[in-house]
Structure 1
Amino acid sequence: MYIKVYLTELKNGFRTKVNLFWNMIFPLILGTLFYVAFSSLYNNDKASTLKIAIDREDSMIESVLKGIKYDNGEAMFDITVTDSDEAIKLLKSEKVCAILHPQDDMDVKMDIKNNGTSQSIVADVVASYRQALATHGQVYDKDIVVAKGIAGENKDPYIMYFYNLIAMTSLLGITGAIAVFTSSNPGQYVVGVRELAAPICKPLYELMKLLATTTFQIISIVVAIVYYVHILGLSFGCDEGYIYLTAVLGVLLGQAIGFGLGHIYSLKESTRVSIAMVLSLGGGFLSGLYVGDMKLLIDTKCPIINRINPFAVISDAFYTLNIYGGGERYMRSVIYMCVCIVVCFVFGFIKAGRNQYASI
């Protein structure tokens, strides 16, 4: 019987046109639009040497940047070492795209005049440099810093949009999970009354329904990744297996959040859906899905926001895999997702066992 519940719920996922469009078709359409829009921009810029100024001689950041080259062997940066006043003049006249102010090996500040592809590339490289030093602590040399992920396998700054797109697809499952368990509420739906009166194991019954919605969402995310990697030819900069593993964790996180929200029966259905939209769409905005520099701005002004933003955590896990190939920062994202998954599931099961329906 419970297998039949699972199969029926899974079929409903594919038969519901709205569900099928937003969870499976929409990410493919949006990914295609991203690819068409951004690939030409990056291809135009990626072989161009970026002119920057550094206002301190013999800095470590200068040595590192000089060692970074494109795949064709061309240097990525044309560096001018000068004083602060001259560097500002170069920036105002747009002879350089950015100024770096190394206070010490770790503390490197950056000034720009305009936002653009070149500035985004410089910002990403500087952020990667600082993270590499933080990861190695005091035990490093220049060769290690250059070798460890400063120039990841994919230097395209626009790949972040696809990381965010996968995160969005993962969290779209929140609304699906909410809908499944809202329909089981005897206080609102006739189907819920039937389920309550039926001689079934309610936790196992809900587990089968949850497993079905999770399976549908995993299939959706796998289809999206296969399309991005093997049809569009994108490189996520790391082993493909880790991409799928991280995406599945993201799906489980979305399902867990939906499971928890779905069992707060005191909330109206519209309120639950609104919370889900804030987490997915609002979280996407803060993570840079709509404005590429937003994540950098949030991380600079109030980093705690994206440390707890599920959308940003999933996206950052992919970014970390590309730049560092894993490590402490990636594990921090994984641990956060696992903790949230466990907490939301436990909360949902506790609420399911305590709900009473006096009106029935």
Structure 2
Amino acid sequence: MLSLMKYRFLCMIKNKSLMFWTLAFPLILTTLFASVLRGAYDPDEFKTISLAVVDSAYYQKDETLKNTLSSVQMNDKSMFDLQIVSENEAKQLLDDKKVDGVISDGESIKIEVNKNNINTTIIKSFFTEYEQKAEVVKDLMMQGKSVDEIMNLFHQTQNYITQNDIEDHDLSSVFFYTVLAMVCLFGGQWSMYAIYDIQANQSSRAARLAMTPIHKIQYLFTDFLLCMVFEMVFILIVYSYMAGVLDIAFGEHVFAILAILLAGCLSGNALGTLIGCATTQTLGFKDGLLTSITMLGSFLSGMMMVQIKYLVQLYIPFVNYINPVAMITDGLYSIYYYGIDERFYTNVFSLIILIIVCYSISFFLIRKKSYQSLEAR
């Protein structure tokens, strides 16, 4: 048994293609993600909003508005980058997309924007609040309040960026969670190659192994252990690199994280085993099939675009219960945001069901295989 494990181990580590796709490629991908995406979805990363103000007689007389716009801040930064221009210049700046919005002061404040995004939403929310408070100013002035007291009212503006109790949550973490899930599924290539090496009708090496006195179950058990060791070692390397070097947040529940990663590795192993048993096509075809399933699952889980994850949940939620990448990603997501709760257990339970189904079908297919003749080449 130990001798068999030794030689199967030597065969596996010489497979440079698998070593690259299951270890080197995820490390490269996470490094690229970290350089491009970190902070891109951080709600606290506020950028000053460019705003054009029409230089009218109303605006010149409105000292409250002028003082408010020049002094209001968000996260210790000026909220607005103001350009005081004529009406024609303001429209041109808006058409050229050099400003996020244009305001003109009159009997009421008019707002113009040419697209809907977070900045235009902030502009609309800010001036809606401003006009509501403008009525209060009249009463304060009638009561003889000072300018400083009036200005303090406008400085008590709500936070338009985020208002929740979760600190330092960065939605870009979802991209990194999908990479870990992808690595778990890519790990299925090890088991798929192992099945290829014991199916006597698929390779000459398997035909030679079939004529040895070692039972097929012994080969399967040995390869299963080695595949799981390879998968877990590689996934832990990628996880440690993310958490320790790239400083990706995963939460404090380390054992829960390891549990979902173990379940993910088992699901990848089970899927690779099923593909290896279910088709007699070439190894290249099987490899392409597993890669296609993995990449489609990664896309639907938000790897390329984080909003896809929520659109799938909104319109076709059943997909998330048959997509192992989504289960792993959502399991990691729920640990970080909500801790160990019902959502975490649902994802683990769904993965276990998927693993049992894949292994059961694979076992049925393997035990039904028999060969009339074998020619070892």
TM-score normalized with structure 1 length: 0.70
Change in 2 beyond 3 A, CA 1:267/1:232: same
Instruction: Tell me which residue corresponds to 1:46.
Output: 44
Instruction: Tell me which residue corresponds to 1:167.
Output: 181
Distance in 2 (CA, whole Å) between partners of 1:330 and 1:153 is: 20
Instruction: Tell me which residue corresponds to 1:289.
Output: 303
Instruction: Tell me which residue corresponds to 1:261.
Output: 275
CA drift at 1:274: 3.4
The structure number with the bigger radius of gyration is 2
- Alpha-carbon displacement from aligned partner over 1:305-349 (angstroms, at most 9, x marks no partner): 122111111101001111110211111110011111122222222
Distance in 1 (CA, whole Å) between partners of 2:199 and 2:36 is: 44
Which aligned pairs between 1:168-317 and structure 2 lie closer than 5 A?
168-317=182-331
Distance in 2 (CA, whole Å) between partners of 1:21 and 1:99 is: 50
Change in 2 beyond 3 A, CA 1:89/1:350: same
CA drift at 1:206: 0.9
Instruction: Tell me which residue corresponds to 2:9.
Output: 10
Q: Any gaps of 5 or more consecutive residues in structure 2?
A: 50-73, 80-108, 126-158
Distance in 1 (CA, whole Å) between partners of 2:6 and 2:165 is: 46
Distance in 1 (CA, whole Å) between partners of 2:262 and 2:167 is: 22
1:96 aligns with 2:134: no
Change in 2 beyond 3 A, CA 1:38/1:353: same
Which aligned pairs between 1:21-40 and structure 2 lie closer than 5 A?
21-40=20-39
The answer on whether the counterparts of 1:10 and 1:215 sit within 8 Å (CA) in structure 2 is no
Distance in 2 (CA, whole Å) between partners of 1:271 and 1:26 is: 20
Distance in 2 (CA, whole Å) between partners of 1:30 and 1:171 is: 15
Instruction: Tell me which residue corresponds to 1:129.
Output: none
1:341 aligns with 2:355: yes
Distance in 2 (CA, whole Å) between partners of 1:194 and 1:276 is: 26
Distance in 2 (CA, whole Å) between partners of 1:211 and 1:98 is: 59
Q: Which is worse superposed, 235-244 or 30-39?
A: 235-244
The answer on whether the counterparts of 1:10 and 1:216 sit within 8 Å (CA) in structure 2 is no
Change in 2 beyond 3 A, CA 1:315/1:92: closer
The answer on whether the counterparts of 1:154 and 1:236 sit within 8 Å (CA) in structure 2 is no
Change in 2 beyond 3 A, CA 1:211/1:305: same
Distance in 2 (CA, whole Å) between partners of 1:151 and 1:244 is: 26
Change in 2 beyond 3 A, CA 1:152/1:219: farther
Query: What is the SS of the residue equivalent to 2:306?
Result: coil
Query: What is the SS of the residue equivalent to 1:288?
Result: coil
**Root-mean-square deviation over aligned CA pairs:** 3.2
1:332 aligns with 2:377: no
1:356 aligns with 2:370: yes
Distance in 2 (CA, whole Å) between partners of 1:215 and 1:233 is: 25
Count of aligned residue pairs for this structure pair:
283
CA drift at 1:231: 1.5
